[in-house]
């Protein structure tokens, strides 16, 4: 069993900024030389998420609109009263979508559908420098 770890660095705009990180994750799998196993992609932080979707302009807009309807950035949250940084909504969104994703690796490639990409979503209320941990476990 082999373990390979690396990070993906991103500059984001906040407010549901969506980035396709599939190529980054696949590059990590290739660099790992692991042929069969699992790749875990994990956000470092509590105001962002990682998931899969069809990364095209309209589905991205639909995701952004749906997230705003579910957890409005205009609501008042108890978190804001505690810390005063007015990003309580981003913590809730991150919790609901999730901060990690595990994808099978077969024959040295991520097992994803034709229209399925791995995306990083920054829910915070400001631009950020972000880190995403990628860890691949398996056999060469």
Digit-coded pLDDT (tens) for 66-77: 999 999 999 999
Tell me the pLDDT tens digit for each residue of 93-116: 999 999 999 999 999 999 999 999
24-57 per-position pLDDT tens digit? 999 999 999 999 999 999 999 999 999 999 999 9
How far apart, in whole angstroms, are the C-alpha atoms of residue 119 and residue 54? Answer: 9
pLDDT bucket at 91, cuts 50 / 70 / 90: very high
Domain boundaries, the chain: 2-139
Residue bearing tokens 């749906």: 66
Q: Which residue has 């807009």 as its token pair?
A: 61
User: Which pLDDT tens digit goes with each residue over 3-21?
Assistant: 999 999 999 999 999 999 9
What is residue 83's predicted lDDT score, i.e. its pLDDT?
78
- 0.85 exceeded by pTM: yes
How much is the average pLDDT of 80-90? 89
Which residues make beta-bridge pairs with 51?
Answer: 119
Could you tell me which of 30, 29, 56, 63 has the C-alpha nearest to residue 116? Answer: 56
Q: In which band, very low, low, confident or very high, does the pLDDT at 82 lie, cut at 50, 70 and 90?
A: confident
What CATH class is the domain 2-139? mainly beta
Token pair in block for residue 41: 């992609």
The number of residues making up the chain comes to: 140
pLDDT for 61: 98
């Amino acid at each position: 069993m082999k373990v390979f770890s690396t990070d993906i660095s991103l500059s984001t705009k906040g407010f549901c900024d969506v980035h396709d990180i599939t190529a980054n994750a696949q590059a990590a799998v290739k660099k790992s030389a692991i042929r069969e196993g699992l790749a875990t992609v994990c956000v470092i932080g509590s105001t962002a998420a990682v998931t899969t979707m069809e990364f095209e302009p309209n589905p991205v807009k639909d995701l952004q609109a749906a997230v705003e309807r579910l957890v409005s950035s205009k609501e008042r949250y108890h978190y804001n009263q505690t810390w005063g940084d007015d990003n309580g909504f981003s913590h809730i969104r991150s919790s609901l979508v999730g901060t990690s994703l595990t994808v099978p690796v077969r024959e040295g490639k991520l097992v994803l559908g034709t229209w399925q990409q791995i995306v990083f979503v920054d829910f915070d209320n400001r631009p950020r420098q972000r880190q995403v941990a990628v860890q691949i476990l398996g056999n060469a």
